Structure 1
Amino acid sequence: MTVSDPKTAGGLPYALGAYVIWGVLPLYIVLLNTVDPFHLVAWRVLWTVPICLAALAISGSLGKLTAAFADRRALGLLLLSSALISVNWVTYVAAVQAGHFYAASLGYYINPLVNVLLGTVLLRERLSRLQWLAVAIAACGIAVLAFEARDTLLISLTLAFSFGFYGLVRKRVKVDALPGLSVEVLVLTLPAIAALLIVPAGKEDFGDGWRISLLLVAAGPITGLPLMLFAEAARRMTYSALGFVQFLTPTVVFIQALVLFGEPLKPAQGLCFVLIWIAIAVFCADIVLRGRRAATTAPA
């Protein structure tokens, strides 16, 4: 299957919808700069629960939710994935609220390359020479940040590896995307309530006016909708095609940082981005070349 196949084209609108929403997410988070990051993530979890339950009821998939809770292995893995995604969410919100847009963007540029490394080390997948070259170039970019921009390197690596391990865990769980997400937000409900009770609130929180309350309620659909769109895109598109679209999110975040938020771009960050973009180009070129070889050798 090629990128231009009807099946891939049918999934493209879903993928674009998911990645555009994730790309403009900083615009939403900035409106909630007065809310504590832990509280914002807690409300994000709590307001996603009804969205997921409603989607399960409409699709007639509530049985899959109960089946996931009954499967001890699946439940254990989903507990781990919920912990990883909560770390990712808190780190992302805190980074955006602190104005570290480039660090957030870089984290998701690095993420696909982290996935390649995790697949090699933990799943024993083999890398091609071009893929190893892409990883090496990306490593050079990270090394530049390690020496010149250590204050934001941890943010980027935390985002990249937390989401990378999250994807790895979800890959091993034989549960569909929507029931899996529902289990994750349900098991995070008690920690979310605990965070609201224990962590000191920021300058504003839910109930401090209709504007801030509506924005926090909106965290539910803003979290659930792109994940559902992504799941549908993943079902309809090839991995290669989906991988190309994936880089839309950090690109949108990078442009916002440069144009809208006026975050100064440090020389080390600029060089790192250039190296990461080169690595991505090499990585994507390898996908295209291997796809062409497979199409050439496939039986008629």
Structure 2
Amino acid sequence: MSKPASAAQVGVICAIAAYSMWGVAPVYFKQLMVLPAAEILMHRVIWSVVLLVGFIAALKQWPKVISALKDKRVMVILFFAGLLLGANWLLFIWAINNDHLLDASLGYYINPLINVFLGRVFLGERLRNLQRTAVILAVVGVGILVLSYGEIPWIALVLASSFSVYGLLRKQVAVDSLPGLFIETLMLSPLAIGYWVLYGSQYSNLFNNSIDLNLLIFAAGIVTTAPLLCFTAAARRIMYSTLGFFQYIGPTLMFILAVYLYGEPLEEARLTTFAFVWLALAVFSADSIFNFRRQRIQARAAALQAAEIRAAELESTPDK
């Protein structure tokens, strides 16, 4: 097997691992329901920083961290990105532990479509016809839920929007995932430590907890960083367009867990909303495939044309 093919296979395995870990993360957070959502977030931030220090040292990425720390603009953007990420984590944890996992699943299904919308609004990216159709289908699906229940699915929309805006901010700075996450969580750590000191629950004193509970708490860093490391490894080995097709593993696993393991009610209106969103994602994925193939054909045609022009120039050049 050739090295590119082998690297691509490793990339696919890493992508599946990353999105699968994100998809089953609710099982972990359900084990920490004795803690308030804010306290779980606090541990997630603190133990992520501890673990990331080791990873950055092992992967020799301190120069990238130092370079980012010296850039004021990068630090400002990472600060606000970190706040958004922390808010997204907090709502996600709260949703899981308050039986709103279906809403969280819907949010992460909608996320790619909001990315497209934000790209159009803030980056001037033009929506192709099928992309526009996908966004409209998703809006119709959410509208059905609003008309049926008389309320906006705010958990799904806030989760999707906050993560999309976070991604938009991260696109503005050339900082790799691992150093970026380390700086973001490092800047959140004073807030986390302050919460621990001032508002910690009876479980904030780790010496009074059982070993099992403390192990679960310490695992917050692994739950945060392990899928990111797999995602980064995948992004380096396979095309980003290919990586995007694996992103639906996460919300699909959340959907299955919510319905079949935790018994969250799936009313007709909610199922109709999911159906419209799934249809929108099918249209969106089809557009991505068509566009990718079109770009490959155009690239091959351009390369062939360049080769023909070069050959013609060589033929027309007189021998010396």
Q: Same fold (TM over 0.5)?
A: yes
Moved more, 125-134 or 143-152: 143-152
- Counterpart of 1:9 in structure 2 is 9
RMSD, aligned α-carbons: 1.7
Provide the residue aligned with 2:311 in structure 1.
none
Counterpart in 1 of 2:107? 107
Counterparts of residues 26-41 of structure 1 (less than 5 Å):
26-41=26-41
The aligned counterpart of 2:57 is 57
- Alignment check: 8 A CA contact 1:23 1:250 kept: yes
Alignment-derived partner of residue 137 in structure 2? 137
> Conserved in 2, the CA contact under 8 Å of 1:134 and 1:280?
yes
- Partners in 1 of 2:204 and 2:215 — Cα distance? 11
Measure how far apart 1:258 and its partner are: 1.3
Q: Distance in 2 between matches of 1:199 and 1:231?
A: 35
* Residue 190 of structure 1: aligned partner: 190
Corresponding letter in the other structure for 2:85: I
What SS class does the counterpart of residue 35 from structure 1 fall into?
Answer: coil
Alignment deviations for residues 60-115 of structure 1 (CA, whole Å, 9 cap, x no partner):
11121121111101101100110000010000000000011110100000000000
Q: Which residue of 1 aligns with 2:313?
A: none
Deviation at 1:297, TM superposition (A): 2.4
- Distance in 2 (CA, whole Å) between partners of 1:110 and 1:267 is 19
1:134 and 1:6 mapped to 2: Cα distance?
Answer: 34
The alignment's TM-score, normalised by the length of structure 2, stands at 0.89
Determine whether 1:267 maps to 2:268.
yes
Deviation per CA, 1:272-293, whole angstroms, max 9, x where unpaired?
0000000000000001111222
Change (3 A) 1:136 1:8: farther
- Distance in 1 between residues matched to 2:204 and 2:33, nearest whole Å: 11
Match of residue 210 from structure 1: 211
Distance in 2 between the 1:232 and 1:144 partners?
A: 39
The separation in 1 between residues aligned to 2:151 and 2:212, in whole angstroms, is 33
Provide the residue aligned with 1:294 in structure 2.
Answer: 295
Residue by residue over 1:31-64, the C-alpha shift from the partner in whole angstroms, topping out at 9 and shown as x without a partner, is 1111100000000000011211111111111121
Shift of 1:229: 1.3
SS at structure 1 position matched to 2:246: helix
CA contact (8 A) 2:56 2:178 kept: yes
SS of alignment partner, residue 125 of structure 2? coil
Distance in 2, Cα, partners of 1:298 & 1:177: 29
Residue 280 in structure 1 maps to residue 307 in structure 2: no
Verify: 1:92 aligned to 2:56, yes or no: no
1:206–1:216 Cα contact (<8 Å) kept:
no
For the residues of structure 2 that align with 1:238 and 1:150, how far apart are their CA atoms?
42
The CA deviation at 1:145 is: 2.0
Residue 174 of structure 2 aligns to a residue whose secondary structure is coil
Q: Which moved more, 1:140-149 or 1:117-126?
A: 140-149
Q: Which amino acid aligns with 1:242?
A: L
Contact 1:206 1:212 in 2 (8 A): no
- Separation (CA, whole Å) in 1 of partners of 2:95 and 2:152: 9
Match of 1:257 in 2: 258
Deviation at 1:142, TM superposition (A): 1.1
Q: Which has the larger radius of gyration?
A: 2
Is the 1:103–1:152 contact (alpha carbons within 8 Å) kept by the matching residues of 2? Answer: no
- Mark the runs of 5 or more structure 2 residues left unpaired by the alignment: 305-320
Match for residue 237 of structure 1? 238
- What's the secondary structure of 2:32's corresponding residue? coil
Contact 2:196 2:204 in 1 (8 A): no
| Contact kept? 2:45, 2:185, Cα under 8 Å | yes
CA contact (8 A) 1:104 1:159 kept: yes
| C-alpha deviation, 1:295, in angstroms | 2.1
- TM-score normalized by the length of structure 1: 0.94
Q: Which residue matches 2:126?
A: 126
Match of 2:181 in 1: 181
Q: Is the CA contact 2:119–2:125 (under 8 Å) kept in the aligned structure 1? A: yes
1:228 corresponding residue in structure 2: 229
- Return closer, same or farther for 1:234/1:43 CA change in 2, 3 Å cut-off: same
For residues 17 and 150 of structure 2, the distance between their equivalents in structure 1, rounded to whole angstroms, comes to: 34
Question: CA contact under 8 A between 1:100 and 1:152: conserved in structure 2?
Answer: no
Identity %: 39
Aligned to 1:164: 164
Q: Which moved more, 1:68-77 or 1:290-299?
A: 290-299
| Greater mean alpha carbon deviation, residues 10-19 or residues 246-255 | 10-19
Which stretches of structure 1, 4 residues or more, deviate above 6 A after TM superposition? none
The residue type equivalent to 1:123 in the other structure is L
Which one-letter code corresponds to 2:215 in the other structure?
Answer: L
SS in 2 for 1:246: coil
| Cα distance in 2, alignment partners of residues 58 and 178 from structure 1 | 12
Tell me the amino acid that sits aligned with residue 153 of structure 1: P
